């Protein structure tokens, strides 16, 4: 069995995004091939999920929401995952696959997975390594086996994720072997990509519930290989514009809701749709976008921003998705730094003088809580 796509991460997001797109493309003969999924965290509790991801009948993804003004509720089976492995027990086989089979390496690891670890400087693989260090050792095996070019495509919500991952891998590779670093710099394409789909809840033992809207924007570059062709995948010349819209409208709105909830005590288990159904909370969010967010985009020449806000509010109000504020609240302080802190910095940079008291208050409260 050949799997030209190697995926690091078992998240429900990947199940309802990349894995689903590849599955649909395989049916049309428009994918590179099936996927090997790798669990890199070492979490033994996810063993059941690993087994279910590669079940012969596939796993279920439910799509629920509003599309074109009409309610959508459909169910599909994802069959793109053919093999699942774990770095803690299957490193030799993962290394062989990376060296011999793959054309694309995908990732969607936890934020903590990118943080440098003491083990990163080891000369050989160790489970405690960060994801960039593990990837470096896989690329080392690829180089040793002949060094065929390949594409690394991170989907983590890190600004210019491909550039960030490439810089860290080159740093680690240079410490191991200068020739390895030269090969990586020349023959490995690190794609900057942005993903966008609200995946509200998992299904057990594998699968997920997601909204109809989906986007996978990839910045074009020489040597880029895509895992598949799919209507949700867009190759763009410049990712920055799309990234700002998502980060500072959709993601900002999510984290602002969490900030309000935490400021009020953080009790209960509210959903995003509950916030949108509350007249006072909805009015506050509407005015936040109108008074503190859109003036910045207008000043920067983003004529498409008002329409993006309108679409975002419709997505937030999706009556079917159980999108919990408690889920969005994970790593809240870091998310606010990216989603609101960087937005406030951008406002100053472009000379926008509109007051932004609610955004500033949310950021200060998160810093105090941290």
Which residues, 6 or more positions from 185, have their beta carbon under 8 angstroms from its beta carbon? Answer: 170
CATH number at residue 318: 1.10.1040.10
My answer on whether 272 and 134 are in the same domain is no
My answer on whether 66 and 80 are in the same domain is yes
- What's residue 44's pLDDT? 67
My answer on whether 220 and 286 are in the same domain is no
My answer on whether 172 and 248 are in the same domain is no
My answer on whether 39 and 86 are in the same domain is yes
CA 37 to chain centre: 16
pLDDT along the chain (370 residues), means of 10: 95 96 98 96 77 94 86 94 95 97 94 90 96 98 97 92 97 97 98 93 94 95 97 93 93 96 91 95 97 97 95 91 91 92 96 95 85
My answer on whether 180 and 245 are in the same domain is no
My answer on whether 316 and 204 are in the same domain is no
- What's residue 45's pLDDT? 66
Q: What is d(CA 212, CA 200) in angstroms, rounded to the nearest whole number?
A: 12
My answer on whether 320 and 179 are in the same domain is no
Q: In b/e form, how buried is each residue of 335-365, taking b as 16+ CB within 10 angstroms?
A: bbbbbbbbbbebbeeeebeeebebbeebbeb
pTM: 0.84
CATH number at residue 85: 3.40.50.720
Query: What residues make up the domain containing 339?
Result: 240-369
My answer on whether 144 and 178 are in the same domain is yes
My answer on whether 138 and 286 are in the same domain is no
The CA–CA distances, whole Å, from 191 to 5, 218, 255, 345 equal 15, 7, 26, 26
What tokens were used for 39? 């669990």
The domain total for the chain is 2
Closest CA to 95 of 106, 87, 103: 87
């Amino acid at each position: 069995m050949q799997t030209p796509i190697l995926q690091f991460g078992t998240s429900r997001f990947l199940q309802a995004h990349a894995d689903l797109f590849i599955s649909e493309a395989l049916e049309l003969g428009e994918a590179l091939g099936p996927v090997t999924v790798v669990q890199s965290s070492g979490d033994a509790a996810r063993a059941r999920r690993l087994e279910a991801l590669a079940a012969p009948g596939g796993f279920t993804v439910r799509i629920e929401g509003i599309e074109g003004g009409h309610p959508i509720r459909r169910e599909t089976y994802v069959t793109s995952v053919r093999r699942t492995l774990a770095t803690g027990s299957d490193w030799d086989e993962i290394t062989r696959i990376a060296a011999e089979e793959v054309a694309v390496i995908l990732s969607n690891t936890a934020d903590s997975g990118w943080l440098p670890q003491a083990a990163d400087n080891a000369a050989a693989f160790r489970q405690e390594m960060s994801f960039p260090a593990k990837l470096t050792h896989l690329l080392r095996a690829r180089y040793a086996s002949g060094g065929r070019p390949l594409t690394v495509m991170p989907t983590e919500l890190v600004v210019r994720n491909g550039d960030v991952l490439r810089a860290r891998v080159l740093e680690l590779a240079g410490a191991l072997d200068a020739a390895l670093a030269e090969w990586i710099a020349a023959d490995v394409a690190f794609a900057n990509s942005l993903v966008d789909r609200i995946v509200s809840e998992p299904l057990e033992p594998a699968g997920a519930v997601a909204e109809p809207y989906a986007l996978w924007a990839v910045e074009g570059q020489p040597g880029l290989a895509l895992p598949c062709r799919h209507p949700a995948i867009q190759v763009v010349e410049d990712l920055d514009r799309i990234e700002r819209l998502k980060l500072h409208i959709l993601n900002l709105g999510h984290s602002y809701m969490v900030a309000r909830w935490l400021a009020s005590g953080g009790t209960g288990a509210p959903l995003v749709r509950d916030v949108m159904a509350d007249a006072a909370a909805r009015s506050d969010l509407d005015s936040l976008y109108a008074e503190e967010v859109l003036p910045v985009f207008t000043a920067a020449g983003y004529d498409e921003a008002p329409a993006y806000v309108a679409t975002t509010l419709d997505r937030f109000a999706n009556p079917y998705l159980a999108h919990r504020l408690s889920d969005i609240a994970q790593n809240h302080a870091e998310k606010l730094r990216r989603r609101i802190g960087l937005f406030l910095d951008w406002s100053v940079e472009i000379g926008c003088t509109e007051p932004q008291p609610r955004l500033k208050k949310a950021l200060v409260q998160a810093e105090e809580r941290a």
